Amino acid sequence: MLTKKICMLGAFAVGKTSLVKQYVYSIFSDDYLTTVGVKISKKNIAVNGVDMNLVLWDMEGRDAYTDVNISYLRGAMGFFVVADGTRRDTLDAALQLRAAALDVTGPIPHCLLINKADLAPEWQVTREDVDRMRNDEGLTTFATCAKTGQSVEESFRTLAEAML
Amino acid sequence: MTPSPDPAEPRAPAPEHTGDTSPAEDTRADKEIERLRTLLFHRELLLLEQLRARLDSPDARAGDVGSVLAEALVLSSREDDRLKMAMEPLVDRIVKESLRDNPHEFSESLFPLMGPSIRKSIAESFHAMLESFSKSMETAFSWKGIRWRLESLRTGKPFSEVVLLHTLVYRVDAVYFIHSATGISLASVMNEGTQSGDSDMVSAMLTAIQDFVNDCLADGKKEDLDLLRQGEYTLLVERRPAAYLACVLRGAPPADYRAHMRACLEYLVMEYAGQLANFKGDTGPFAASRPRLEKLLGSRFVDEDKPLPVWIKLLVAALIAACPGAAGYVFYRHRENAARAAEDAERRRSFRADMLAAVDLLRREPGLLVIHAAEQPAGDTPSSTASAASPGNSGQNRDTPQEGATGEAASPAAPTAAASLSDHTGQGPAAPPEQASAKASLDAGTPWKVVCLKDRLARTPEEVLREHGKDASLFSFTLIPYVSYEPDMVSKRVDLSIQPPENVSMRFDDGIIYLSGTAPMHWTLEARRKALTLPGVKDVDIRGLSDPRSARLAAMIQEVQGASVEFPLGKDVPVPEDMPKLTHLVDTLAAVQRLAAEMGMAVSLTIYGHADAVGSVARNYDISQARAKVIAAMLYARGSGMPLALYGLGADYARKSEGPDQSSRRIELRVHLSPSVVPELDFINH
């Protein structure tokens, strides 16, 4: 059995916890998020015929965007950076977090999730922004919606395949 | 036998040829030295040759090792476990492979051993079952058993758990083997009957908590968490850089338990050094560590057969003898406590109802919006809460709760009965009445914290409560300024701003201020301007207002505008009979200007000159212009500074289209007031 540690990073209120909730039934209470700053969830999936346990570390988003607890990133084998499409500044924060995380973990698989796809008309993040990140930064990007589940399963599966 | 000299044998260095001797002489000398050496070291050379032959022969070497192997194993196992650790995987693999290749032989070989073992195991199980049954019977009918049953009923815990709690010395419920960097559970084992969360999530959360504690409490130094305790549970952590062990246990473990953990972890870290260093999430190879982890599971119970010491028996006997008296006393105290508890509950209920009623009063007060009202949490003193109030109100609010807080210590003779808030009349005997009431009320409950929005013009919460005879010191207020759109507040705001005179009445309805009565027009205009700038005012209706001078001014203006001064044919001087009329007109205009100025208005005048149809068009325009100028000249002569506009309209507005006509040769006046919003004067600008 393969077990992989995945971290969820992103600014405050971009929907990290909602994405995890959409993807996995969580055992631990949300109280941990505010007390310890992290919430652990687990999902068992089969990728390319390989059974895999994904242990998800949902890390507290803070007001100071780039203030991420480095200790929790140790040993991560993949991570998501999450931004809110309706707030342009959260995308900048996500890119900063990505750079900070890669400093700690080294080059590991990761994806950018731009959440709140259901509010697409209100998005401040443009198609050009997304294309630029795909082409220039080589980032795997998904427009997700924690409310409807759009692209959530697909994004987790993509990251899991990259970690195989 | 004379050994022949070995060509590989180190030889003494041959003397260099110096040129004094021939090569033939040198060769002879070498042979002599060789012969001498053979004679001197014959025995040693023989021994060396035997040793070489023995070392070159594998059979001989195996024989040597075999002769000392048993002693070497004994000596090594006495010193440490390294040999055992090295042999264990090898033996394990050999046995497994042998079992796989020759299962029949093994089953035949083991049968004589397994048969009795299985029989023994079954017999032990029966024995344990019987013992458990007899223990249950014993506990079920013994005094201890009944006591435990009662405890189980009282606490809601299962009977088996109560028995476990009383008899348990320690029990290890779960052991986790965790990868340090990732927090992933490599392997875990649990005691039978233990309920625990998913081992991956438990280990990840435990790692997160350790990181959290390290970040928060270790003051920058790298110090690891090695013990967690909650209630009856203890979590022991033993750590190495690559991995750590976490054991969940109840009770007090033996003193050497940590040493066992350490030894087990060291073994596992050494055993799986390669897998741990290159760990990529595959936990499969660590499954083999479970038997070693199971060794850390264990438990011990107290010896039930141990007789009670004599002094305990004596103590129990004394207690039993004292039981009737104690029971009576307990019953009396219980009755007393129950009555007191009921009294306290009633007092608290009454206190809460009064507090809610007081908050309700605040909710109904215009300009106050209660957004939070609840009991103040313990430790949150009224003064500290009030300090967060807005600067404009903080002084007052800071003082009030402190009275309540210090009153408890200051009032020497607080009433004993539950003092209702509404009962408070401010007529205390010796202590300040508010403090005494607060003390009595605080006995029944904690102070309340109220957060409300307050309009600048609204009354303070303290004033409202005081008006209704409530004790404001039981509250800690936090006031946040805001602007209220409630009709009462808007009306009050307008009233303060425009300050209507006595004979003006004001009404506010649906955002519109209705003013009625009589007032000077300049006040009316200013009041309207001010009122429209205030929040909550959509419009100001001043149609109900009148100025007593407006009617007189209107009459004079109408007189001026209705007057007609006629001129002779071709002349710009009025006909003689109209000269007095013209003089009167100029006087009236001056009066209009004075009165309008008193009322705060400016007057301007437009003079239109007309001609009849006789004469050329150009001449008619000139003469009509000249007629208008005559009036303007007269006004200037009277010193009027009234702004004028003159228009010669020729015969455009002649009353007869042909022939001479005196009524067409005239001037007309139009008066303009600025500004003019008084209804009576509206006609002027239309």
Indicate the residue type of B555: A
pLDDT band at B426 (very low <50, low <70, confident <90, very high): very low
Domain B550-685 has CATH 3.30.1330.60: yes
**Nearest by CB to A2, which of B185, B205, B281?**
B281
- Are A5 and B281 a contacting pair at CB < 8 A? yes
Of A23-32, B6-15, B150-159, B525-534, which has the strongest mean pLDDT?
A: B525-534
3-state secondary structure string, B283-338? Answer: CHHHHHHHHHHHCCCCEEECCCCCCCCHHHHHHHHHHHHCHHHHHHHHHHHHHHHH
- Are B184 and A2 a contacting pair at CB < 8 A? no
For residue A54, give the chain B residue with the closest CA: B200
pLDDT at B38 (0 to 100): 82
pLDDT at B399 (0 to 100): 36
Which of A70, A72, A60 minimizes the C-alpha distance to A16? Answer: A60
- Mean pLDDT value across residues A17-42: 72
Residue B250 has pLDDT above 70, yes or no: yes
Chain A partners of B198 at a C-beta cutoff of 8 Å? 27, 42
Residue B642 has pLDDT above 50, yes or no: yes
Q: Which range is least confidently modeled, B247-251, B453-457, B647-651?
A: B247-251
b or e along B316-330 (b: 16 or more beta carbons within 10 Å of the residue's beta carbon)?
A: eeeeeeeeeeeeeee
Q: How many domains does chain A divide into?
A: 1
pLDDT band at A28 (very low <50, low <70, confident <90, very high): low
- Are A5 and B204 a contacting pair at CB < 8 A? yes
Within 13 Å of residue B302, how many CA atoms lie on the same side as its CB?
Answer: 14
Structure tokens at B300: 């011990």
- Mean pLDDT value across residues B655-681: 78
Q: Which range is least confidently modeled, A83-92, A138-147, B426-435, B446-455?
A: B426-435
Statement: the pTM of the whole predicted model exceeds 0.95: no
pLDDT at B610 (0 to 100): 93
- Are B283 and A36 a contacting pair at CB < 8 A? no
Q: Give the pLDDT confidence of B531-560 residue by residue, as tens digits.
A: 999 988 989 988 888 887 888 888 899 898
What is the CATH number that goes with domain B488-544? 3.30.70.2210
pLDDT at B8 (0 to 100): 40
Q: Which range is least confidently modeled, A139-148, B123-132, B241-250?
A: B123-132
Q: What is the CATH number of the domain that holds A136?
A: 3.40.50.300
Query: How far A112 CA sits from the closest chain B CA (Å)?
Result: 22
Q: Give the pLDDT confidence of A55-72 residue by residue, as tens digits.
A: 999 888 765 545 567 778
Structure tokens at B227: 């013990």
Cβ contacts of B552 within 8 Å, gap of 6 or more: B595
- Are B208 and A2 a contacting pair at CB < 8 A? no
pLDDT at B623 (0 to 100): 92
Cis peptide before B412 (omega within 30 of 0): no
- Mean pLDDT value across residues B622-626: 93
Instruction: Using DSSP bridges, classify how beta strands A140-143 and A2-10 pair: parallel, antiparallel or unpaired.
Output: unpaired
- Are A3 and B283 a contacting pair at CB < 8 A? yes
Residue B472 has pLDDT above 90, yes or no: no
Chain A partners of B281 at a C-beta cutoff of 8 Å? 2-5, 52, 77, 163
**Nearest by CB to B200, which of A38, A55, A76?**
A55
Query: How far A73 CA sits from the closest chain B CA (Å)?
Result: 9
Chain B partners of A41 at a C-beta cutoff of 8 Å? 201
Q: Give the pLDDT confidence of B90-148 residue by residue, as tens digits.
A: 888 888 888 888 777 777 777 666 777 777 777 766 666 666 665 666 566 677 778 88
- Domain span at A50: 2-163
pLDDT at A124 (0 to 100): 93
User: For the purposes of burial, counting CB atoms within 10 Å of the CB of A36, is it exposed (0-12), middle (13-18) or buried (19 or more)?
Assistant: buried
pLDDT at B382 (0 to 100): 46
Q: For chain A, what is the mean pLDDT?
A: 86
Which of B626, B608, B610 minimizes the C-alpha distance to B665? Answer: B610
Residue B255 has pLDDT above 70, yes or no: yes
**What is the number of CB-based contacts under 8 A between chain A and chain B?**
73
Q: Give the pLDDT confidence of B274-307 residue by residue, as tens digits.
A: 889 889 888 889 999 999 998 888 777 665 555 6
Chain A residues in contact with chain B using a Cβ-Cβ cutoff of 8 Å: 1-5, 27-28, 32, 36-38, 40-42, 52-53, 55, 57, 69, 71-72, 74-77, 163
- Spell out the long-range contacts of B217-221 with Cβ–Cβ below 8 A and sequence spacing 24 or more: none
Domain B151-301 has CATH 3.30.450.70: yes
Distances (CA, A) of B515 to A62, B531, B653: 56, 11, 43
Instruction: Using DSSP bridges, classify how beta strands A50-59 and A2-10 pair: parallel, antiparallel or unpaired.
Output: parallel
Query: How far A43 CA sits from the closest chain B CA (Å)?
Result: 10
Residues pairing with B229 in the sheet = B234
DSSP class of B252: -
Chain A partners of B243 at a C-beta cutoff of 8 Å? none
Residues pairing with A150 in the sheet = A145
For residue B207, give the chain A residue with the closest CA: A72
- Are B184 and A163 a contacting pair at CB < 8 A? no
- Are B184 and A5 a contacting pair at CB < 8 A? yes
pLDDT at A54 (0 to 100): 93
Chain B partners of A31 at a C-beta cutoff of 8 Å? none
DSSP class of B422: G
Query: How far A74 CA sits from the closest chain B CA (Å)?
Result: 6
CB-CB contact of A51 with A83 (8 Å):
no
- Mean pLDDT value across residues B236-261: 87
Q: Which ipTM value was assigned to this complex?
A: 0.82
- Mean pLDDT value across residues A30-57: 82
Cα angle for residues B213, B217, A9 (degrees, 5° grid): 50
Residue B87 has pLDDT above 90, yes or no: no
Q: Give the pLDDT confidence of B187-245 residue by residue, as tens digits.
A: 999 887 776 678 888 888 888 888 777 776 655 556 677 888 877 788 899 988 889 99
Residue by residue, DSSP assigns A105-125 as: H-S--EEEEEE-GGGGGG--S
Residue B180 has pLDDT above 70, yes or no: yes
Domain boundaries, chain B: 102-130, 151-301, 354-475, 488-544, 550-685
Q: Give the pLDDT confidence of A92-118 residue by residue, as tens digits.
A: 889 888 988 998 899 999 999 999 999
pLDDT at B317 (0 to 100): 81
